[in-house]
Structure 1
């Protein structure tokens, strides 16, 4: 059943999985290795399956972090990750028919100013979204404002659907998209993700940062 407590439970497992991956990923591992590590951890911790076309951990490393493709087409690379490379990982666990959805970007070894700037900027997009959110606004209106914030700061949107997320459902075919073509009000979405996939113009890597949100009657809350 789609309710807050169930979403909190599955989302907490997703958050613990990202922490586990960050502490256990090393130079020389591949996307495939990291995917197996993440999915095995989730299954050991009670996850029943994976809602995104049976891809529990969508991992992209290095220049491949710029890719935006459907889970139906995703094949993890066996190329070894190098020191200083970015890794994006997007989790899609299911627990008792309830979805989790959580994505983060991190890097192997030593960071640099470009990576740190991008990671700080994508966090600022989440802060901006929480600030301008209005349940009576149309989804397309808020999408437009965030989209221009991305462009005005020298970044570009990588998502192949040009969307920033979707509603949380129990059927993948019922998702409602957070995009410029959705003229519904946000009040029609009970639980939804904010998941910008962006890169700085001229950069060789992409970044993601995804949370599930809901409106509690006065504020937008991260699950």
Structure 2
């Protein structure tokens, strides 16, 4: 059943999984290795299945982090991750027939100012979204406003649908999109993701940062 308690429970498992993966990922592992690591952790913590075309952990490393492809077409690479490369991981666990959806980008190795600045921007983009959110406005209006903020800060959107997220559903075919073509009000989305997939212009990697949000009656709140 789609409710806050169930979403919070499955989302907490997803968050713990990302923490586990960040601690355990080492240079020389592949996307396939990291995918297995993440999915095994979720399964050992009560997750029974994955809602996104049975891909529990969508992992892209290095310059493959620029790719925007459907889970239907995803095949993890066996190429070993090098020191300093970014790793993006997007999780899609199911618990009590309820989706979790959580993504983060991180990197291994020594500190990289360019990547750190990009990761800081995408975190701030979430704060900008929370600030301008209005449940009575059209989804397309807020999408367009966020696109301007991305472009004005020297970034570009990578998603193949020019999409920022989707509603949380029990059926994958019923998702409503957070894009420029959706003129419905945000109030039509009870729970939804914000997951911008972007890159700094001229850079060789993409970054992603995803949370599930809901309107609590006064403000937009992260699950």
Task: Settle same-fold status: TM greater than 0.5.
Answer: yes
CA distance in 2, matches of 1:183, 1:220: 19
Residue 8 of structure 2 corresponds to 8
Per-residue deviation, residues 61-86 of structure 1 (Å, max 9, x unmatched): 00000000000000000000000000
Residue 75 of structure 2 corresponds to 75
Per-residue deviation, residues 148-200 of structure 1 (Å, max 9, x unmatched): 10001100000000000000000000000000000000000000000000000
Per-residue deviation, residues 96-143 of structure 1 (Å, max 9, x unmatched): 110000000000111211101100000111000000000000000000
Stretches of structure 1 that go unaligned for 5 or more consecutive residues are none
Between stretches 103-112 and 17-26, larger displacement belongs to 103-112
Question: What SS class does the counterpart of residue 17 from structure 2 fall into?
Answer: helix
Q: 1:105-144 alignment to 2 at 5 Å?
A: 105-144=105-144
Q: 1:1-223 alignment to 2 at 5 Å?
A: 1-223=1-223
Stretches of structure 2 that go unaligned for 5 or more consecutive residues are none
Question: What SS class does the counterpart of residue 72 from structure 1 fall into?
Answer: helix
Alignment: residue pair count: 223
Query: Cα RMSD (Å) of the superposition?
Result: 0.4
Question: What SS class does the counterpart of residue 156 from structure 2 fall into?
Answer: strand
Moved over 2 A (4+): none
CA distance in 2, matches of 1:216, 1:97: 22
Question: What SS class does the counterpart of residue 60 from structure 2 fall into?
Answer: strand
Normalised TM-score (structure 2):
1.00
CA distance in 2, matches of 1:57, 1:220: 27
Question: Is the 8 Å Cα contact of residues 48 and 96 (structure 1) preserved in structure 2?
Answer: no
